[in-house]
Amino acid sequence: MTAGSKITLRFTGRVSALSRAERDALFDRSTSSDASVRERTAEIVADVRMRGDTALRELAARFDNVNMDSLEVPRAHCAAALDGLEPALRRAMERAARNIVTAHQAFMPSAAECETEPGIVVGRRPDPLGRVGVYAPGGRAAYPSSVLMGALPARVAGVGEVILCSPPERDGAPSPVILAAAAIANVDRVFAVGGAGAIAALAYGTSSVPRVDRIVGPGNAYVAEAKLQVAGAVAIDSPAGPSELLLIADESANPRAIAAELIAQAEHDPRACVVAIVLGDAIARSVIDVLSSTLDEQPRRAIAAEALASNGGVLVADSLDEAIAFSNAYAPEHLLVALDDANAVLPRLRNAGTIFLGARTSVAFGDYMTGGNHVLPTGGLARSYSGLSVLDFIRWTTYQRVSPETAESLARDVSVFAESEGLPGHAYAARVAGGEQ
């Protein structure tokens, strides 16, 4: 692509004119992997489950080109990495950490009791998980923000032990910036283990890596598939796929800002899905023109261009109602509302991983610094899944209490109920609890 050449977008035109095939292509953003990924992942998971640390060391030699003596990274290395961090980056990471903690503390649930009738109390109490595993990608790029987003909510929730796994570099340890983030988040133990093998180790445990109660964090196709395959043995966060952005804008929005947001999410992955729904033909033309003139300036232009050509779009909605209906059906990971009065439409917006209100509320701010979590459902799963929060790191204990007086009256109705279901033992237990001699 030469500077100023016309951008290639898969979806253009009017929302109302989309064909059935085009609409299906927009909405079918399945995160399921292909058969070869599922098969290879299953082999790795089974191997790690059977041979533990031996399998992990072989995987490190094969995929990371490193021979591992110890899989665990001493905590002193994390502290040293933090001390060696460039000061401006350390300030930014520590600011992000403070905001993540503040936001997640505000959403901590509390215990509650109710009296369903006199003498019957039902209560529910949030209890933190005992141990969780956080996965942080490595390899081509390291994401310390993912460490903070996964580990700090667990800390806020009161989790007993936080374990971090991330692929080793040539020195046998994860990226120094990952280790520095682990120190900021006060991670208990760090393991230089990556890919599907790390997920299997966290799910089933090995001689070195302890078994956890939940696994969170993003990763490549093999990591995502491994999480799905071990979900019967351990809880996981929402299934994750390539990054997504849906942007709703009117004529008040700056086309340059819209284009910048589309490029920012498109640079994540060639399979990223980035779509703008705009109210007006003029702004649609302007956004496309800005994309065409600025994409070549981007260091990751090849990745962004491929994403825009494969899954990108600038579509015109005939009305705000049509744009909102499209958004609620599309269920994006990120929804940016660049309207003159974005707050007014918030009550009507549903089915989004997280919503950014106002053109100045960049998705990039949420990716790093606002305190909201960036681990979010993709592939339309925002219809039923929520973004990562403290709720992912607790389980609810329900308890019940019945007074002796109420037990007597309950016994009669419970006995009748149980007998109707053919469970005489239940009826007998109820009558004895009610005081039958």
Summarize pLDDT for 102-131 with one digit per residue, the tens.
999 999 999 999 999 999 999 999 999 999
Q: Can you tell me the mean pLDDT for 276-287?
A: 97
pLDDT at 233: 96
Q: Which of 378, 368, 353 is nearest to 146 (CA)?
A: 368
The predicted model scores a pTM of 0.94
Same fold, 11-31+241-371 and 35-117+128-236: yes
Q: What's at 409, amino acid-wise?
A: S
Rounded distance, CA 201 to CA 139, Å? 19
Q: Establish whether 268 is a catalytic residue.
A: no
**Over the stretch 167-178, which tens digit does the pLDDT of each residue have?**
999 999 999 999
According to the model, what pLDDT value does residue 357 have? 98
pLDDT at position 29 = 85
**Residue of 77, 268, 333, 374 with catalytic role:** 333
Asked if pLDDT for residue 3 goes beyond 60, the answer is: no
Please pick, among 77, 104, 268, 334, the residue that the annotation labels catalytic. 334
The CATH homologous superfamily of the domain defined by 11-31+241-371: Nitrogenase molybdenum iron protein domain (3.40.50.1980)
Q: Is 334 considered catalytic here? A: yes
pLDDT of residue 32: 66
pLDDT tens, residue by residue, 126-163: 999 999 999 999 876 789 999 999 999 999 999 999 99
Domain 35-117+128-236: top CATH class: alpha beta
Express the helix, strand and coil content of the chain in percent, nearest 5 each. Answer: 50, 15, 35
Query: pLDDT tens digit string along 372-417?
Result: 999 999 999 999 999 999 999 999 999 999 999 999 999 999 999 9
Distance of CA 317 to the CA centre of its chain: 29
The pLDDT assigned to 5 comes to 60
With tokens 């609409």, the residue in question is 23
The residues, ordered by sequence, that sit 6+ positions from 252 with a Cβ below 8 Å of its Cβ are 338, 339, 340, 359
Q: Which two tokens stand for residue 384?
A: 């039923």
pLDDT digits (tens, 9 = 90+) for 186-213: 999 999 999 999 999 999 999 999 999 9
Q: What is the per-residue pLDDT across 9-43, written as a single tens digit (0 to 9) for each?
A: 999 999 999 999 999 999 988 766 689 999 999 99
Domain ranges of the chain: 11-31+241-371, 35-117+128-236, 403-433
The predicted pLDDT at position 2 comes to 44
CA 164 to chain centre: 16
Between CA 166 and CA 135 the distance in angstroms is: 6
Please report the pLDDT score of residue 366 as a whole number: 97
C-alpha dist (Å) from residue 318 to 11, 274, 276, 280, 312: 16, 20, 14, 8, 20
Which residue reads 């607790």 in tokens?
394
Start-to-end CA distance of the chain, whole Å, equals 89
Comparing CA positions, the residue from 202, 183, 238 lying closest to residue 391 is 238
pLDDT for 437 equals: 74
Give me the chain's average pLDDT, please: 95
Residues in contact with 45: Cβ distance below 8 Å, sequence separation at least 6, in sequence order:
196, 199, 200, 203, 226, 229, 230
Q: State residue 91's pLDDT score.
A: 98
